[in-house]
Amino acid sequence: MTRHAISFVALAAGLMFNAAAFAQGAPDFSKVEIKTTQLAPDFWTLEGQGGTISVLAGADGILLVDSQFAPLTDKLVAAIRKVSDKPIRFLVDTHVHPDHVGGNANFAKLGATIFARDQLRYRLEHPNPAADGSPGMPAPEQALPVVTYNASLSIHIDGEDVRLLPVVAAHTDGDTVVSFPGHDILAVGDIFRSFGYPYVDLASGGTLAGILEGLSEILDRAGPATKIIPGHGPLVDRNAVVAQRDLILAVRGKVQKLVDQGKTLAEIVAARPAAEFAPRVAGATPQTEDRFVTWVAKEVLANR
C-alpha cells in the first residue's frame, strides 16, 4: 500500500467513525516520516500522514496551511525547525477533516493563531454524529480557530499577501483555497486531490456543484507556471485541475442521460458511467468509483 493509499484510508476512517473507533483503526503514527519539499527559498511542503501542509517561513515568522494529525505535531515541528527558527504565528485550516485540523490545539499552544471559515469552527464545536449514531466529540477550545471569516481575507507576512479564499460548499461547507500570489503557489485543500476521485463530504455540507466552483476558482487564479498543492497527492499544475473538472463534467453528462432515461440511483451506479475514466485516476478503486458516481447521481437526481 502506498503512503497516499494509507492516508486515504485514514481519511475515510476519520469520516466514518467516532474518535475512539478511529484511534483503534488509526495508522501507527510512530512510523510516519515527514517528507519536506522546498518550492521556493521561503516555502516548503510537509507530507506525513493526512493532508499536505504548506509552510511559508520568512523574516516575519511562519504561516502554516493545515496541521495533520495531533500525534504528528512533534515530528512536524522538528521538520519546520530544520528550515526556520522563527515563531509559528499563523495556521490556516483548509477544511474540518481530522487529517487537516488534528494538530490545531498543539500548534495553538505553540503560539499559532488559527484562521478558518465560520462553518469550520462551527463543525469543530458541533461535530457530526458517528456512524453508530453516538454523538461526535467537540474539539477542545484550543483547537478552535480564533479568526473566522466568510469572505476573502488577507494575511500580510514575509513580504507575501496571503489570500484566504472561501469556496462556499465544495469538499465541505467550510473550505478555503489559500493563494500565495508572490510565490505563484495555491494550496487548495481537498477541493482538488491528485489522488483518487473528487471527494464530496455530503455530511459536512459538501456539494459536487461546489467542487466545480472551487476548481474554477483555482483555474481562475492559476497561470501556466502556478504550483498547485493538493490536499493529498503530488504537486500539480493547472492541467491536472482542468482534467479533473472535465472528468466531473463528463461523468455528470453521462449520469444526466441515465437520469433522463428514468434510471434509479442503483441502476446508474451499476451502469458504471465513470469506468472509462478509471485508468486516468491515480489510486482509483471500484469502491471509490461507485462512491463518486453516487455523489454525482444524487445531485443530478435532486436537480431533476
Write out the residues near Zn ion by the rule CB under 5 A: 97, 190
CB of 95 to Zn ion, least distance (A): 5
- Closer CB to Zn ion, 63 or 188, in the complex: 188
- Closer CB to Zn ion, 97 or 227, in the complex: 97
- Closer CB to Zn ion, 97 or 254, in the complex: 97
CB of 201 to Zn ion, least distance (A): 7
CB of 192 to Zn ion, least distance (A): 11
- Closer CB to Zn ion, 71 or 196, in the complex: 196
HEC sequence for the chain: CCHHHHHHHHHHHHHHCCHHHHHHHCCCHHHCCCEEEEEECCEEEEECCCCCEEEEEECCEEEEECCCCHHHHHHHHHHHHCCCCCCEEEEECCCCCHHHHCCHHHHHHCCCEEEEEHHHHHHHHCCCCCCCCCCCCCCCHHHCCCEEECCCEEEEECCEEEEEEEECCCCCCCEEEEEECCCCEEECHHHCCCCCCCCCCHHHCCCHHHHHHHHHHHHHHCCCCCEEECCCCCCECHHHHHHHHHHHHHHHHHHHHHHHCCCCHHHHHHCCCCHHHHHHCCCCCHHHHHHHHHHHHHHHHHCC
CB of 101 to Zn ion, least distance (A): 10
- Closer CB to Zn ion, 97 or 183, in the complex: 97
CB of 258 to Zn ion, least distance (A): 28
- Closer CB to Zn ion, 97 or 121, in the complex: 97
The label of the residue with cell 476573502 reads: 152
- Closer CB to Zn ion, 100 or 245, in the complex: 100
CB of 107 to Zn ion, least distance (A): 18
Q: Say if residues 190 and 94 touch (Cβ distance below 8 Å).
A: yes
CB of 123 to Zn ion, least distance (A): 12
